[in-house]
Structure 1
Amino acid sequence: MSDRVVTQALCWRVERGDGVMVALTDHDRDLVVDGILHRAAPGMTPSAVVRGEGLEADTMEVTGALGAAAFRRDDLVAGRWDGARVVMNAVDWGDPARAAVPLGEGRIGEVELTAEGFTAEMRGAQARLERPVTEATSPACRAMLGDARCRVAMAPRRRFARVLACVDERVTIAAGGDPPGPVDDAYGEGVLRWFGGGNTGLTSAIERSVGAVLTLRAPPVFAVAAGTLVEVSEGCDRRLATCATRFGNVANFRGEPFLPGIDLLTRYPGG
């Protein structure tokens, strides 16, 4: 039986979509791994990493306390950590210069808040294999306005504006943010990005708009003060008629509006 003390520590790096990164370790002091300072996080308790030989997704859960600088309740509730990239390594804390042993990589999935703290699930890269292989047909366009498949130029369809008032889901922006031309519901199905206040870095889906009055699909996570800077992007209802008349982009329409649906099987003569 060996009398050597195991000098192994677990390190993980969490990278949010907005560029914020947190590096932590379960060691009792900070470690520098690959030039990155990993803060000691005794309140963070990772579970065993479940890895399979097949195609099933690797899973792990991390339980931690709230209130620390790394993970705050407000950020978790706002969804800032949803889908964050997680990279895990095992290192020799007695010799940090030695190469780290990679244990896994994935994305944060479900986050559960409790009275004591939070529990976050990490899903491995194999979780991508659970997605549908091909797209299903649909009468509406499956592309997002302005993406690589749609190809509509979005630069002239985005604009910054100041918030005049925000009551629940209804946001009124300054007149300078009105869409050009007599377009009804120009921002409907669009996106509002927050550049000020507690919602900075978050996005809100716009359900519909009437001039400079926007109705969001859900109220902002945090209170909004008058004068907050936002960016609003025009939206599209994904119908062929809209694609043709408003955007002149039928060549890139990604839908099948004339494909018979399943209701064809229920039709009968005279019906």
Structure 2
Amino acid sequence: MKNVSAALAVHLGGEVTTLATCWRLERNDGWVRGFTDHDRSLVIDGVTYVAATGFLPSAIKSGSDLSVDNLDVDGFLDDEALKAEDLTAGLFDGARIDIFLVNWADLSQGRVLLRRGWLGEVKRADNRFSAEIRGIANRLQQVAGKLYSRLCRTDLGSAECKVVLGPLTDELAISAVSSGDTFTVPTARPTGFYTFGVCTFLTGANAGAATEVLQHNGQSIQLFTPMPRPIAIGDQVRLVVGCDKTPETCHARFGNILNFRGEPHIPGNDKVFSYPIKS
């Protein structure tokens, strides 16, 4: 049951309504923005809900069987509000979104909350985007607990791993750029040291963005995906040692085999094919 003020309930029951849909988007870094399908911007609780972006929601569907709610939001990418580079950099991953109705002719009547959730998969084409809104029921489909794995299932440097990353982390300036995903840094670390590690841009156009390292060869660093904005000589990056999660690397590189969180000796499906076939 939704909470609706008495005045707004009367308005909703009338023959003619002046309703507008609003979206409040809050990223994990504290960035907050509001959007509305009304033809003019609205100021609600100190947040300006701009009308220029043009959000379009799909039908809002809710069920009592704990199935995942079905809702997508389409919109235009706007340089002032939503930037394609920010979407690509993952700044909107897991952002919280509230969707509600208001009477634009009398905002004092309050609001009707339609849906509250988090941004899921975001697709982009040309100057448009489509974002999936995931409700709390989506968490019931997530894997809970731990699964057996031949590789280590924990993150390097976590409380379970216990490897101290400070001495294995370097902050360096980019000395040359080959492409959107490959650059050179003046490092003396051996080849492969940063492979599968994390690269975080501290300055430049990509400041704040982080991605994984695909390959470290000498002083050359290749990322898994190109950065959303151009990489420039002089950009400062933080490079953290990588781990391929095998027991060999855990022992040889980190001396941490006692904290290895995997089961490499448990037979897998391929064990069946290791036995000789008798005719």
Structure 1 residues 34, 241: closer, same or farther in 2, change over 3 A?
A: same
SS of the residue aligned with 1:251?
helix
* Distance across 2 between alignment mates of 1:159 and 1:230: 8
Q: Counterpart amino acid of 2:193?
A: A
Residue in structure 1 matched with residue 5 of structure 2 by the alignment: none
1:190 deviates by 0.3
The equivalent position to 1:199 in structure 2, one of 201, 206, 212, is 206
Which residue number in structure 2 is paired with residue 240 of structure 1? 247
Pairs within 5 Å for 1:81-230: 81-115=92-126, 117-168=128-179, 169-175=181-187, 178-179=188-189, 183-230=190-237
CA shift for structure 1 position 134? 4.3
Give unpaired runs (5+ residues) of structure 2: 1-11
Q: Which residue of 2 aligns with 1:259?
A: 266
Q: Aligned-pair distance for 1:270?
A: 8.1
Root mean square deviation, CA, Å? 2.8
Of all paired residues, the percent bearing the same amino acid is: 37
SS of residue paired to 2:275 = coil
Match of 2:71 among 60, 64, 76: 60
* Structure 1 counterpart of 2:57: 46
1:121 to partner: Cα distance: 2.2
Question: Whole-Å Cα distance in 2 between the matches of residues 110 and 71 of structure 1?
Answer: 16
TM-score (ref. length: structure 2): 0.81
Provide the secondary structure at the position in 1 that maps to 2:253. helix
Aligned with 1:219: secondary structure? coil
Give the aligned residue type for 2:183.
V
Structure 2 residue matching 1:174: 3-state secondary structure: coil
Return the alpha-carbon distance in structure 2 between the equivalents of residues 116 and 162 of structure 1: 33
Structure 1: how far apart are the matches of 2:167 and 2:93? Answer: 30
- Decide whether aligned partners of structure 1 residues 85 and 156 sit closer, same or farther in structure 2, where only a CA change above 3 A counts: farther
User: Against the structure 1 CA distance between its residues 80 and 142, is the aligned structure 2 distance closer, same or farther, given a 3 Å change threshold?
Assistant: same
Change (3 A) 1:192 1:116: closer
Letter in 2 for 1:147: S
Q: Is the 8 A contact 2:66 2:137 kept in 1?
A: yes
**TM-score, normalising length: structure 1:** 0.83
Alignment gaps of 5+ in structure 1: none
Q: CA deviation at 1:233?
A: 1.0
CA contact (8 A) 2:53 2:78 kept: no
1:37 pairs, out of 34, 48, 71, with 48
Q: Deviations over 1:143-175 (max 9, x none)?
A: 111123323222332221110112133321134
CA contact (8 A) 1:195 1:230 kept: yes
2-structure distance, mates of 1:12, 1:32: 12
Equivalent residues of 1:51, 1:58 under 8 A apart: yes
Give the SS at the match of 2:71: strand
Q: Secondary structure at the match of 1:241?
A: helix
Helix, strand or coil for the counterpart of 1:144?
coil
Post-superposition shift, 1:13? 1.8
